[in-house]
C-alpha cells in the first residue's frame, strides 16, 4: 500500500498532464497537394461612378446611370457619360452642378447627458458625446456646434459638412430654448433686463421670450432666443450676478426632445432635414 501511495504522490489531482505535440508532423496524402489559399484582394480607392452617386444619397444606381448617360455628371470638371467609369475618392464629382460626396448624408439628434463634451477624442478625464452616437451610422459623424460638458439637452450630429457650416455660421439666427437652473431666485428687475435684449461682450442678444418655469422655484428659468454665439446663456446670467447650476437645451432649430430620453439618439425625419435646409 505504501508503494502504491509513493507511486501516485507526484501526480497533481484534478489536472491531466499536457501532451507533447511538438514532434508531431502532418503529411499530405501521396499524390495530393494542399489547395492553394485565395490571394487577399488588394485594397483600392476607386469606385464605380454610379455607386459613388448612389452612396451620396442623390438617387439609385439605375437612376445614376441615366444621369451619367445624359451628361449631367462631371468628374474633375469633365463631363463623363461612360457607364462603368471608375472614380477615386479624392476626385471632384458634381451632380447637376453640385459637388457630392460618396457618403450618404445622415443626421442624428442626441439628448446629451451631463458629463460629456463635444470633442472628438475621449481621454481618461472627459468623455466625448461622439461615443454616444458611434452606433448610429457607419460614417463618422460630427457635432453641430458645442454644448458644454456639464450642460444637457439636444445636440445634432451629421456628416453633412455644408449643413454644419450653415448651422454654425454666426450670421445665422438659430432658435434655441434652454431651461436654466440658477443658484438663487431671479429678481424681477433682472428678469426685465433679460427680456429687453441684454448686451453681452459688446453685442446685443435678441431674446424672444423669458419665463419663470411653471410650478417650480424662481430659480428655474426658460429662455428662448436666436443666436449662434458660444456659451451665451451662461454669460447673460453671469453678467447679472447669477451662477448657472444646470443648463438644459430643450429645443434646437425647430427640433425637440419629445420621445427622446436622456442619453438616447434618433435619426431625423426627411421633413426635419428639409426644414433645416430651408433655414
Task: Set out the domains of the chain in order of their start, with CATH numbers.
Answer: 46-99 (3.10.290.10), 106-172+261-279 (3.30.70.580), 175-252 (3.30.70.1560)
Which residues 6+ apart lie within 8 Å of 59 measured at CB?
53, 67
Task: Output 267-273 pairs: Cβ under 8 A, ≥24 positions apart.
Answer: 267/106, 267/107, 267/108, 267/109, 267/136, 268/107, 268/108, 268/109, 272/107, 273/105, 273/107
CA dihedral 260, 266, 268, 269 (to 10 degrees): -90
> What radius of gyration do the chain's Cα atoms show?
31
Average pLDDT over every residue of 210-220: 96
pLDDT of residue 18: 45
- pLDDT value at residue 263: 95
Q: What are phi and psi of 262, to 5 degrees?
A: -60, 135
If you ran DSSP here, which 8-state letter would residue 139 be given? S
Reported as a single tens digit per residue, the pLDDT across 139-181 is: 889 999 888 889 999 999 998 888 998 999 877 788 999 999 9
Percent over 90 (pLDDT), the chain: 53
pTM above 0.85, yes or no: no
Selection from 184, 166, 167, 162 nearest residue 244 by Cα: 184
Among residues 242, 205, 203, the alpha carbon closest in space to that of 223 is found at 205
Q: Is the dihedral of CA 185, 191, 197, 199 positive or negative?
A: negative
Q: Give CA–CA dist 139/107, Å, rounded.
A: 11
pLDDT at 39: 53
Amino acid at each position: 500500500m505504501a508503494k502504491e501511495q509513493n507511486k501516485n504522490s507526484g501526480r497533481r489531482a484534478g489536472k491531466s498532464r499536457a501532451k507533447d505535440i511538438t514532434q508531431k508532423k502532418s503529411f499530405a496524402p501521396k499524390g495530393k497537394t494542399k489547395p492553394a489559399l485565395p490571394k487577399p484582394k488588394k485594397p483600392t480607392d476607386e469606385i464605380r461612378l454610379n455607386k459613388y452617386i448612389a452612396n451620396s444619397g442623390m438617387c439609385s444606381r439605375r437612376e445614376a446611370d441615366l444621369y451619367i448617360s445624359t451628361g449631367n455628371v462631371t468628374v474633375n470638371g469633365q463631363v463623363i457619360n461612360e457607364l462603368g467609369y471608375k472614380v477615386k475618392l479624392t476626385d471632384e464629382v458634381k451632380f447637376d452642378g453640385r459637388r457630392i460626396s460618396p457618403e450618404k448624408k445622415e443626421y442624428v439628434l442626441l439628448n446629451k447627458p451631463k458629463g460629456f463634451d463635444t470633442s472628438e477624442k475621449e481621454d481618461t478625464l472627459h468623455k466625448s458625446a461622439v461615443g454616444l452616437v458611434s452606433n448610429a451610422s457607419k460614417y463618422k459623424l460630427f457635432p453641430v456646434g458645442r454644448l458644454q460638458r456639464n450642460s444637457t439637452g439636444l445636440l445634432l450630429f451629421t456628416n453633412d459638412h455644408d449643413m454644419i457650416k450653415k448651422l454654425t455660421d454666426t450670421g445665422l439666427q438659430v432658435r434655441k430654448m434652454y431651461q436654466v437652473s440658477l443658484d438663487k431666485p431671479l429678481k424681477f428687475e433682472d428678469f426685465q433686463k433679460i427680456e429687453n435684449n441684454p448686451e453681452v461682450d459688446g453685442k446685443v442678444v435678441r431674446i424672444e421670450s423669458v419665463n419663470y418655469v411653471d410650478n417650480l422655484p424662481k430659480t428655474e428659468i426658460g429662455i428662448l432666443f436666436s443666436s449662434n454665439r458660444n456659451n451665451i446663456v451662461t454669460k447673460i446670467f453671469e453678467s447679472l450676478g447669477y451662477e448657472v447650476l444646470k443648463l438644459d437645451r430643450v429645443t434646437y432649430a425647430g427640433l425637440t426632445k419629445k420621445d427622446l430620453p436622456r442619453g438616447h439618439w434618433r435619426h431625423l425625419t426627411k421633413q426635419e432635414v428639409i426644414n433645416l435646409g430651408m433655414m
